[in-house]
Chains A and B, each alone.
Chain A
Amino acid sequence: MKQFVSFVKKEFYHIARDKRTVFILLGMPIMQILIFGFALTNEVKNSQIAIFDQSNDLATHALRSELNASRYFDVVQDVHAYPEIEAAFKKGKIKLAVIFPENFANDLDHFNAAQVQLIADASDPNVANTLTNYATAIILDYQDRITNNRRLPYTIKTEMRMLYNPQLKGAYSFVPGVMAMVLMLVCTLMTAITIVREKELGTMEIMLVSPMQPFKIVVAKAVPYLLLSIVNVTSILLLSVFVLDVPINGSLLLLIFESILFTLTCLAFGLLISTGTDSQQTAMFIALTGMFLPTVMLSGFMFPIENMPLPLRIISNIVPAKWFYYIVKEVMIKGLGIAAVWKETLILTGMLLFLLALSIRKFKIRLA
């Protein structure tokens, strides 16, 4: 035990001496949450639009002010000819143009049908889609109001309710994503690097010659990073609750338990990397490509897994972050209990045991 304590102490000295790394390790989750929370967002807000109003009547004016009043759009330009629209798009000034033909109100009143054209800048297809949807919704909303006075023979009205995330906030999906990413980075990368560094320095040999059992060395190496990860999880959760207004709907205890489970899986992966490599650069490269990229690409955090081709969907199953991301979403956002995530928890546990067994085996082989 005394051996173990001296070892853990030494690890903390290493971490504390390297101020820059401490800063990165503790500051990274905060930075990421803030960047994702305020800068990188796929929500559409205050998009600049142009209006080409060839009718200039009550109806078009009403629609114009409805669009302008919504938080999605800002009318920044009135155009008076088609070429001006194209010019505005080319300048990159506007994302959407709304065109009312002549006699808009007249057509609406007398023929019960009027047309409005939406032209979107589809160089970013997702934004274009979202913008036309929002604009259509606003126009339909207006139509609903004016038809309230008249009876239509058949109408089907859709009522939508966005469960778990009524305001459709992006934070609800990226908080779990950032958690997965940060834990992975801290644990896998740092464990791999710190063990390989001892190999590079030649101190690993000294330790293997000492009476300290290899298993203890490995565990002692992991302890400080496990603690750091718990600090990181805490800061991410605090930020998301108090700054981003993302609530923790489920059990905090379960959330922390799952985080520790995922942390351990990452640590085991870092350990596995370290047993197979001899230089810090290689370790870093493997950790980044082997863990970071799949975490970002295949966990479902950036890109929905359901839309991926079958081979990628199959591969995504071996990415631990996918399961962790799912668990956090279920527990934190939907407020579900262990009954809803026991299968995923079991999968993560299995991965942990597998990685641990493999790396300890490899560690021993190295000795023989």
Chain B
Amino acid sequence: MRIGREKVVLFATILLFWVLLNGTLALDSLLVGLLASFVITILYRDGFSPFTEFRATPAGFWAAGCFLLYFSKELVRSNLKLAAIVLSPSLPINPGIIKVRTTLKSRMGRLLLANSITLTPGTLTVQLEEEWLYIHWVTVEATDIDSATAQIVAGYETYLEVMYG
């Protein structure tokens, strides 16, 4: 029954995007959208969308808002940091691939975490292996799992924990 619910959520998400992109609720475009969304939903074995495992509670929405703000701040910070590295003549990098651990259980939570890490200061998720994330870091500041986790993962985890668990 769980799969059925996920498919409905996926169908609704695709249809929502279709309507937003078309900017109209005219019958003909709506019919085409319904058909296309239906076919895509059938073709996907497990329906999976950003809302799949989202906890639609007030606390969940609040955490989503905070997450977006925090993420935007980190995105700008990451760009300024990399810009400084690229522009400095000595190219002060110190790269390496380290390993961190997440406590998130849901698939969507982990996916968003990996994506967010990729867009934040000098880190790029290379491999997601169950609870372990392998991260390429332009300026490695900590090589052991615990302190690297505290530096890279903890900031996002507090919000994603509430949103997806």
The answer to whether A and B interact is no
Give chain A's interface residues, CB within 8 Å of chain B. none
